[in-house]
């Protein structure tokens, strides 16, 4: 047995069970499935080709949706002069503790320190001030795919790293209503994409004051529930009001000839989504990928005696070609390893469908299809195989979503007393819905008592009339609480 095989065997078996230690399980999956690796730079990860291929698929779907809704891409500088970041008071307070500073360049100390962008409102606002003159120049609907840097003390691949990749939309509008409509439209789009692309159900709602973006009027978020019952903030959409417009002097001549400040929004999702996918769908055997973002949707594993290269491989290659032509992303595992080893490796890597083909299958003109999600196996005729596979991939995508919805529903409870609340947070974790009075005091005390934070307050629900779970004052909303990432 080669050194390579030794490594690989270890590779497959070394995953900590999810139930034993979820956090270790997560790290094991990330590293063993070769999604990401630690780098020599503290807090920064390397996104390996398999992980990056997932990101490329996420980008493809999100980018298409942004363009379909009228947005265009652009690119703004990585560096922001410190004085620009300082223009919006809340913004700098929120981000200054987390920024990295460039102090030297080209062999000289810089006159003004440069901030490595933690987010781009400041630099983009500065440019919008140059570009916008009249109401005819509005709206500006620009998105940027970029890297950003936020110094983090505790990091975890994909979930929280010093540098990460994201998209950040930045828009400017004539009226407050338009900005709010854009903010909500993006929130809905994020929700739809989370469902259709990531098979990840999310709760859409408004953040509390204490959790909103530094400098925003209002922040909305999508929140997903991970397999360990903790919530993950998976995307945010901010209504910036005129805060940045005033700080950066983004004015325009309005239809009535008066000079007005624009109304802004910003919104983003990041490589964190990959972490969300892992923790929503994964199991003890490793990753489970939704077909829409699986780099390989099907892995073909030839089965057979020693002469499989002669007897099985030619037919396997034909099937591969047929699937490729049908638009299926497929790989054929030709390595000289035993099938069982290959099964375990591709399960670890989360490939939605395994296609086994051996001499007997060829005789019967069929193949065996094994689903990663349910582990169901079924013989399927080679005639019309591509159509069958495509149909099955849709079924898997749908099934993953439904399973996640069921999980969330069984981990969401409504409580009316603080005792119940505390009990819920100590017991089986998940979302707890209850009334909240809107005061930061109650929010803080609840967090201190239970570690739970308000994830958000859904827009489409009205308070049930029950009082604040902690102080019994009239509730402003039903809030979704959870322990979170």
Residues in contact with a second copy by CB under 8 A are: 2-4, 7, 37, 39-41, 44-49, 51-53, 55-56, 72-81, 84, 96-107, 114, 116, 123, 126-127, 130-131, 133-134, 136-137, 142, 146-147, 149, 151-153, 162-163, 165, 253
What is the C-alpha separation between 231 and 455, in angstroms, rounded? 8
For residues 163 and 361, which CB has a smaller minimum distance to a second copy in the complex?
Answer: 163
Q: Look up residue 424 and give its two tokens.
A: 């819920």
Q: How far apart are CA 173 and CA 171, in angstroms?
A: 7
Cα separation, 480 vs 485, in Å, equals 15
Shortest approach of a second copy to residue 157 CB, angstroms? 12
Residues 114 and 81: beta-carbon distance below 8 Å? yes
Pick from 108, 104, 88: nearest CA to 96: 88
Q: Which is nearer to a second copy, 134 or 410 (CB)?
A: 134
What is the gyration radius of the CA atoms in the chain, in angstroms? 25
Vertex 168 angle, CA 141 and 162, to 5°: 165
Minimum distance between the CB of residue 252 and a second copy, rounded to whole angstroms? 10
83: closest CA among 126, 129, 147, 144?
A: 126
Interatomic CA distance for residues 290 and 152, integer angstroms? 30
DSSP class per residue in 409-446: HHTEEE--SHHHHHHHHHSS-SEEEEEE-S-HHHHHHH
Residue number with CB closer to a second copy (22 or 166): 166
The encoded tokens of residue 192 equal 């739809």
d(CA 144, CA 323): 34
CB-side neighbour CA atoms (13 Å) of 250: 33
CB of 53 to a second copy, least distance (A): 7
Name which of 102 and 378 has its Cβ closer to a second copy: 102
To a second copy, the closest distance from the beta carbon of 193 in angstroms equals: 20
Q: Of 22 and 151, which CB lies nearer to a second copy in the complex structure?
A: 151
How far apart CA 300 and CA 254 sit, in angstroms, is 61
Helix (H) or strand (E) holding 352: none
Least distance in angstroms from the C-beta of 27 to a second copy: 16
Least distance (Å) from a second copy to the CB of residue 402? 32
Minimum CB distance to a second copy smaller for 103 or for 258: 103
The partner residues of 230 in beta bridges, in order of sequence, read: none
In whole angstroms, the minimum distance from the beta carbon of 12 to a second copy comes to 17
Q: Least Å distance between CB 5 and a second copy?
A: 9
- Comparing CB distances to a second copy, the nearer of 116 and 433 is 116
Judged by beta carbon, residue 22 or residue 145, the one nearer a second copy is 145
């Amino acid at each position: 047995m080669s050194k390579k095989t030794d490594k690989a065997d270890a590779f497959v078996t070394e995953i900590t069970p999810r139930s034993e230690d979820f956090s270790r399980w997560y790290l094991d999956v990330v590293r063993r499935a070769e999604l990401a690796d630690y780098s020599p730079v503290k807090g920064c990860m390397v996104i390996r080709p398999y992980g990056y291929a997932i990101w490329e698929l996420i980008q493809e779907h999100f980018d298409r949706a942004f363009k379909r809704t009228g947005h265009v891409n652009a690119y703004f500088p990585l560096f922001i002069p410190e004085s620009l970041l300082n223009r919006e008071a809340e913004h700098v307070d929120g981000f200054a503790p987390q920024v990295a500073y460039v102090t030297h360049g080209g062999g000289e100390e810089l006159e003004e320190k440069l901030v490595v962008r933690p987010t781009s409102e400041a630099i983009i606002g500065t440019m919008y001030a140059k570009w916008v003159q009249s109401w005819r120049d509005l709206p500006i609907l620009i998105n940027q795919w970029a890297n950003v840097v936020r110094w983090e003390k505790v990091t975890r691949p994909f979930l929280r790293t010093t540098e990460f990749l994201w998209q950040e939309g930045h828009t400017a509008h004539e009226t407050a209503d338009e900005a709010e409509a854009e903010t909500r439209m993006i929130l809905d789009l994020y929700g739809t994409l989370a469902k259709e692309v990531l098979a990840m159900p999310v709760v859409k709602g408004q953040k509390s004051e204490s959790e909103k973006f530094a400098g925003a009027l209002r922040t909305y978020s999508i929140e997903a529930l991970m397999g360990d019952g903790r919530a993950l903030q998976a995307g945010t959409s901010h209504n910036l009001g005129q805060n940045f417009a005033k700080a950066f002097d983004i004015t325009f001549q309005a239809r009535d000839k008066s000079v007005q400040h624009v109304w802004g929004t910003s919104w983003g999702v990041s490589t964190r989504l990959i972490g969300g996918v892992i923790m929503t769908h994964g199991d003890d055997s490793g990753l489970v990928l939704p077909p829409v973002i699986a780099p390989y949707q099907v892995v073909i594993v030839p089965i057979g005696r020693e002469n499989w290269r002669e007897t099985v491989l030619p037919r396997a290659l034909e099937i591969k070609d047929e699937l490729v032509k049908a638009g299926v992303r497929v790989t054929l595992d030709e390595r000289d390893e035993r099938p069982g080893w290959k099964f375990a490796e591709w399960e670890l890597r989360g490939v939605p469908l395994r296609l086994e083909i051996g001499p007997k299958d060829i005789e019967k003109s069929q193949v065996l299809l094994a689903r990663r999600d349910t582990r169901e196996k079924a013989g399927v005729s080679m005639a019309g195989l591509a159509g069958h596979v495509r149909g099955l991939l849709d079924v898997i995508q749908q099934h993953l979503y439904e399973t996640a919805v069921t999980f969330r529903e069984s981990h969401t409870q409504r409580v009316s007393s603080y005792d119940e609340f505390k009990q819920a947070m100590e017991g089986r974790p998940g979302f707890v819905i209850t009334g909240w009075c809107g005061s930061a005091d109650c929010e803080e005390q609840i967090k201190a008592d239970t570690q739970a934070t308000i994830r958000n307050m859904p827009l489409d629900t009205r308070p049930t009339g029950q009082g604040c779970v902690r102080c019994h004052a009239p509730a402003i909303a039903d809030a979704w609480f959870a322990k979170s990432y």
